[in-house]
Structure 1
Amino acid sequence: MSVHSGPSTAFRIPASDPAPIAECTTLSCEVGAAVTAPAVIAAVVLAGLAAFLAFAYVRDAAEAGKREQQRVLAERDAFETFADRVAALDPAPSGSTASGIDGSMAAVRTVDRSTDTGDVRLRRVLAAYRDTVMSVPHYREEYDETIPESLAAELGSDTATALASNGTLSAASQSALVRRSRRAAEARSSLADAIGEEIDALRALENDLASVDRRRERLLEHLDGVSGAGTGAAIDVWERLEDLERECDEIAADRQAALADPPMTPDAAVDIEGDHAFYEYLYGPTDGPRYPVLAQVSELAERIREDRDRVASRLAGSR
């Protein structure tokens, strides 16, 4: 596993501030321009607009991260257990090979615990691998590999070849199996930690977005409670909503910087490459957006812009 920082790609929430009329730069002119859009003219009341956003993108991403972290930890535990079981075996005497083994990969293709054919040490190694690494709940869904395919992919093709060639568990093969299994477990542990960092970041970002949304909701509730034209209050709310939109821009910029500097770039346990490989690995297989935080920020910013347009419409109706 290695840490890799990819190049930064700017993310900007599309601006939709009211376009000023020529020769006019006052707030009232900006408000007047905002209400020229048909969609804004049709929505002139604020009642019912103060609903909280659900932040489903971020919450679903955090849940997906938790599920993947559990899978990775299950694999880590499986490799650790496999390493312990292999380490406890007695290797074959130096220079010995098992009889009846032709040296082909067929020797490690299946394990039949109901028979005594083949070398007992080899059968115990393969049985241990099948009962640990290949028995994690998601193995068939995620990998669905045979024993030699999995051994080669996880512990190196030379390891599987050595087992097949010797037809037994030599001291050298035992040492390699134990060492590489523990390395695979450590890689999973590092990956699980990185996923945990991302989950924590998502929770923090959800809190930040919820804070913005609560302030948005309170501003609209306050304006709903103002009697009469409430021109001054409406202008103040319009400006404060603009500040909230700017805050969304800042959250998006911070997240984009984080995307360029992920907790890690998976390589040993995940076959994905690219500048955003870590996030592709986590969110690529999900049904949600590839970049859930940026999608969520964009949604909140759009809601704020709609609120500002409706406030502007209210101001226009009071003139």
Structure 2
Amino acid sequence: MPTTADEADRSVIDEAREAVRVERRRTADEREAFRAFRGRVESVPTEAVSPGGSPATAGVADVTASPSGSGTPADARAGGPATPPGSGLVAVRDAYAETVMSVPHYEEEYDDTYERSVAAELGPELAYALTRGSGYHPEYGRALFDAVDDAIEERDRLVERLRVETESLDRASSRLGAVRREIETLDATVPEGGFGALDACRARAGVLVEDCDRIAARRQRAIAEHGRELRLDDDVVDLPTYLYQNVSATYPVLAAVGAVGDRLDGLTRRTERAMARVG
């Protein structure tokens, strides 16, 4: 546990780094799970609707043209059993459960039923079709592939933004570390310094305040860029709000900048008091 303000403002960025690392790993796992799901579903035949309204198997891979030009399911043509109506939906459900719902963090982070998960990830209309429809019809298959591709692309974007976020945290941490080290050097000047040295110390503290302002401004630009690149839920203000729910500060870099700024304010006050004594 941090025991000083200096350790605390370092710790909050370290916490943020760990949160990003975990989210990046989980997002990559989900992306690969959706890719695996898509691969599984590509082999599931769709079911056409018969004139009587019941599904009849008519997967593209299982249909060949008869001499008259009509398509006949391969199993039926060979005299084997036709695919039971609705079995395509079962195959989709099983594939989803064994890929998307089987990522290591699924229970901890989501713990949804199949229907709720599909609704959240692929949309409520498709969820209704896949969980309550009479069969896995061709239009469902097309919609499913489009939705899965969107889910994969969304995670691709998030993985990239998390990479950028890590770089932003590292850059801010490095620059703030340099400011902290200089504060320590300036602190040593105050007890023994003459008026000239103290005046120089105060001026340098003012420059470091400007450095902190630039670090904060750059961080704000990074947060705004995340917002432009990502499609966040309506209840998520920005990427830090999403990422740092369990971190001691929702905006860790800005919190660290504020802590360093407080140290600079204290340094300036001590310097001015010392200047008044020796002046």
With over 3 angstroms needed to count, the CA separation of the structure-2 counterparts of 1:78 and 1:307, relative to structure 1, is: same
Equivalences for 1:73-112 in 2 at 5 Å?
73-93=28-48, 95=50, 97=55
Offset from partner CA, 1:159-217 (integer Å, 9 cap, x none):
23333454332333223222211211111111221122122111111111112122222
The CA distance in 1 between the partners of 2:187 and 2:8, in whole Å, is 14
Pairing partner for 1:184 from 145, 151, 170: 151
Offset from partner CA, 1:6-53 (integer Å, 9 cap, x none):
xxxxxxxxxxxxxxxxxxxxxxxxxxxxxxxxxxxxxxxxxxx9x787
Q: How far off is 1:225 after superposition? A: 9.7
Q: How far off is 1:241 after superposition? A: 1.5
Pairing partner for 1:233 from 183, 193, 197: 197
Offset from partner CA, 1:204-244 (integer Å, 9 cap, x none):
111111121222223334x2796xx5332222222211221
**Residue aligning to 2:243:** 282
Counting strand residues as a fraction of each chain, which structure ranks higher?
2
Q: Which structure 1 residue ranges, 5 or more long, are not aligned? A: 1-48, 99-116
Q: Which structure 2 residue ranges, 5 or more long, are not aligned? A: 57-83
Pairing partner for 2:135 from 168, 179, 195: 168
| Pairwise CA RMSD | 2.9
Counterpart contact for 1:266–1:277, Cα < 8 Å: no
Offset from partner CA, 1:265-311 (integer Å, 9 cap, x none):
643xx53446x42232222x223222221111111011012122223
Q: What is the SS of the residue equivalent to 2:27?
A: helix
> Normalized against structure 1, the TM-score is what?
0.67
Q: How far off is 1:74 after superposition? A: 1.4
- Equivalent position amino acid for 2:206 in 1: E
Equivalences for 1:29-40 in 2 at 5 Å?
none
Offset from partner CA, 1:87-142 (integer Å, 9 cap, x none):
022333553527xxxxxxxxxxxxxxxxxx98433222111111111111222222
- Equivalent position amino acid for 1:134 in 2: M
> Normalized against structure 2, the TM-score is what?
0.76
- Equivalent position amino acid for 1:70 in 2: R
With over 3 angstroms needed to count, the CA separation of the structure-2 counterparts of 1:217 and 1:164, relative to structure 1, is: closer
- Equivalent position amino acid for 1:85 in 2: R
Q: What is the SS of the residue equivalent to 1:88?
A: coil
The CA distance in 2 between the partners of 1:60 and 1:159, in whole Å, is 38
**Residue aligning to 1:145:** 112
Q: What is the SS of the residue equivalent to 2:273?
A: helix
- Equivalent position amino acid for 1:97 in 2: P
**Residue aligning to 2:98:** 131
Q: How far off is 1:85 after superposition? A: 0.3
Counterpart contact for 1:78–1:132, Cα < 8 Å: yes
Higher relative contact order (CA 8 A, sep 6+): 1
Counterpart contact for 2:223–2:238, Cα < 8 Å: no
**Residue aligning to 1:69:** 24
**Residue aligning to 1:271:** 233
Q: Percent identity?
A: 33
With over 3 angstroms needed to count, the CA separation of the structure-2 counterparts of 1:195 and 1:77, relative to structure 1, is: same
